[in-house]
A and B are shown apart, each in its own frame.
Chain A
Amino acid sequence: MNGLPISYLEASARKRLSGLLDAGSFVEFCPPEMRRSSPHLALLDAPLAFDDGVVTGRAALAGHKVLVAAQEGRFNGGAVGEVHGAKIRGLLDRALIEHPAAVLLLVDSGGVRLHEANAGLIAISEIMRAVLRVQAAGIPVFALVGGSCGAFGGMGIVTRLCTEVIMSEQGRLGLSGPEVIETVKGVDEFDSRDRALVWRVTGGKLRRALGEATLLVDDTIPAFRAAAAGLLDRYQAQPPMPGDLAALQAAQDELTERSRRFAAARDGREIWQAFFADASRVPEMSVDEFNTRLGEMA
């Protein structure tokens, strides 16, 4: 051990869980011993995982009872297939029985798993409906986004359905990944190898400035834990209400205003200029400074 905090980005799904949750509190549902891997990958001779790339279970976090699902980005890019998706959906169904303080989704996924694309697409829409059901029951759902695959495709939509979105600077959130846009529309539209550009269009600081990520944290597991613990305290005092007509009308106005205000924007710099006098410094700002200055403007 070198004493440095563990990078959330570089950790595996199980490593993230072990650092995030109270020691010894995790009980896994449908664990690898059950050998619930994907028959569809097997049919294509593709590599298998006994947990199908997602870990689900119950645990405590800072003393609060939570249900968690953690996607493993190193297995098939965290992509959602039939079994993978059903485990997440089942976890959300379980929340309606157990009434945890919150459900945590550690999202690390490019979206639908193409080897079983139809099953994946249907599964993601089932997850969407399940997230909404859980929230309607007064249970908050938190998305944690800081893995190397980010939160894209249908999982990008699921993430934005969550009650709160905790993101690191390195986390990325969107719908179509830069590679897909480059492949279809050409390199002039989106150069996926330009890492700085990709980050300015999809990264945590951009998403936080737009209000899509609700908390921006450092890329360490303890930072994600502290943020989740803070939210658990807050929601225990005040459970979430499902959006009513007035709330959704307000969201409609806000999203309409954003699309007007940034009608021609194609780079995060143009968004930051609206928030920071010294926008060019944003990439080098620490998370603390960024949050402080964003908070001062709110």
Chain B
Amino acid sequence: MNGQALYDRLFGAGAHALTAEGRFLRGTARIGAREAAVIGTLDHAAIDVPLALRIAESILRAVHADAASDMPPRPILFIADTQGQALSRHEELLGLNGYFAHVVRCVDLARRQGHRLLTVISGEAVSGGFLAYGMMADRICALPNSQVRVMDLRAMARVTKIGLERLEELAKQSPVFAPGAENYWRMGGIHELWSENDVWPERLAAALACAGSTDDRAAIGLERGGRLLAAPTAQIVANP
């Protein structure tokens, strides 16, 4: 599902005004009774400098617009579909990591200004591209069939020099390295997995209602049994 069909399913027909410009998406949509700013990437976009700048600019624009209005800050919804960061010498030379850090700062500014931040993963969410914006939201939801990963198992086998069969075997019991939205859910990195049977506009409104500004992912990962050491280890160092 993509384009209009996806947006109709996500927000309800007539409840969105979104424009795609290449692999960049922006506009507004209704979530429950509220208007939200929507910012996204499409078609498994590789996030490069121009795309990072457009994401950041759109966030700043939303913050600016709402700072000038009497209404409370609107929620911002990120629709993430990214194969990861662009791989190129030119991008590295410019300092793509610094451009991503800028996006992250803009997301943080929006949070500090009182915007609630949601991410819906549609398609793929991979590594650096996902780190740059989708993963920084208050609440992260994955549509059915979304792919979430750092690297596929074949490449991982090559780099770690551990046999593919061994990795595939271990992947069945451990959520810790194998690709999959379900694994990220168990580890607290994704808050909600949506199904085809769900009424997505209702889920979206519910997600917005429970989005908070504190980072509770380590505690959720512990509760769901997928990440047992993160919360207690951080606690040992934070407050021995």
Confirm or deny: A115 has a beta carbon within 8 angstroms of a beta carbon on chain B: yes
B149 x A175 contact (CB < 8 A): no
* Chain B interface residue number, banded: 35 or more
Give CA–CA (A118, B178) in the complex, Å: 7
Stretch at the interface among A4-12, A18-26, A149-157, A225-233: A149-157
A201 x B177 contact (CB < 8 A): no
Q: Of residues A112, A116, A158, A175, which shows the largest number of chain B Cβ atoms within 10 Å of its Cβ?
A: A175
Residue of B nearest to A94 (CB): B238
Confirm or deny: B176 has a beta carbon within 8 angstroms of a beta carbon on chain A: yes
Residues of A contacting B164 in the complex (Cβ-Cβ under 8 angstroms): none
- Chain A nearest CB, measured from B168 CB (Å): 13
Confirm or deny: B132 has a beta carbon within 8 angstroms of a beta carbon on chain A: yes
Give CA–CA (A154, B150) in the complex, Å: 11
B105 x A175 contact (CB < 8 A): no
Confirm or deny: A89 has a beta carbon within 8 angstroms of a beta carbon on chain B: yes
Confirm or deny: B6 has a beta carbon within 8 angstroms of a beta carbon on chain A: no
- Chain A nearest CB, measured from B230 CB (Å): 4
B229 x A114 contact (CB < 8 A): no
- Chain B nearest CB, measured from A214 CB (Å): 12
Residues of B contacting A153 in the complex (Cβ-Cβ under 8 angstroms): 127-128
Stretch at the interface among B11-19, B28-36, B94-102, B202-210: B94-102
Q: What 1/0 mask marks residues of chain A from 260 to 294 whose CB sits below 8 Å from any chain B CB?
A: 00101111100100000000000000000000000
Residues of A contacting B128 in the complex (Cβ-Cβ under 8 angstroms): 153-154, 157, 175-176
Known: A123-B230, A136-B112, A181-B87. A43 touches B170 (CB 8 A): yes
- Chain B nearest CB, measured from A104 CB (Å): 15
Confirm or deny: B88 has a beta carbon within 8 angstroms of a beta carbon on chain A: yes
A132 x B229 contact (CB < 8 A): no
Confirm or deny: B236 has a beta carbon within 8 angstroms of a beta carbon on chain A: yes
Confirm or deny: B131 has a beta carbon within 8 angstroms of a beta carbon on chain A: yes
Residues of B contacting A174 in the complex (Cβ-Cβ under 8 angstroms): 92, 95-97
A86 x B92 contact (CB < 8 A): no
B87 x A185 contact (CB < 8 A): yes
Known: A86-B230, A119-B230, A245-B63. A161 touches B101 (CB 8 A): yes
Tell me the chain B residues, 136-159 only, with Cβ under 8 Å from chain A: 136, 149-151, 156, 159
Give CA–CA (A40, B187) in the complex, Å: 14
B184 x A189 contact (CB < 8 A): no
Known: A128-B131, A201-B89, A212-B95. A175 touches B100 (CB 8 A): yes
Confirm or deny: B79 has a beta carbon within 8 angstroms of a beta carbon on chain A: no
- Chain A nearest CB, measured from B102 CB (Å): 6
Neighbour of A29 across the interface among B91, B112, B215, B236, CB < 8 A: B236
B237 x A132 contact (CB < 8 A): no
- Chain B nearest CB, measured from A160 CB (Å): 4
Give CA–CA (A245, B65) in the complex, Å: 11
Confirm or deny: B20 has a beta carbon within 8 angstroms of a beta carbon on chain A: no
A112 x B95 contact (CB < 8 A): no
Q: List 21 A-B contacts (CB under 8 A).
A: A82-B227, A89-B230, A117-B149, A119-B177, A121-B135, A122-B188, A123-B230, A125-B135, A128-B136, A132-B105, A154-B128, A157-B101, A175-B85, A175-B92, A175-B97, A184-B87, A244-B109, A245-B113, A248-B56, A248-B106, A266-B93
Q: Shortest 7 CB-CB distances between A and B: which pairs?
A: A90-B237, A160-B101, A90-B234, A156-B97, A86-B233, A117-B150, A93-B238
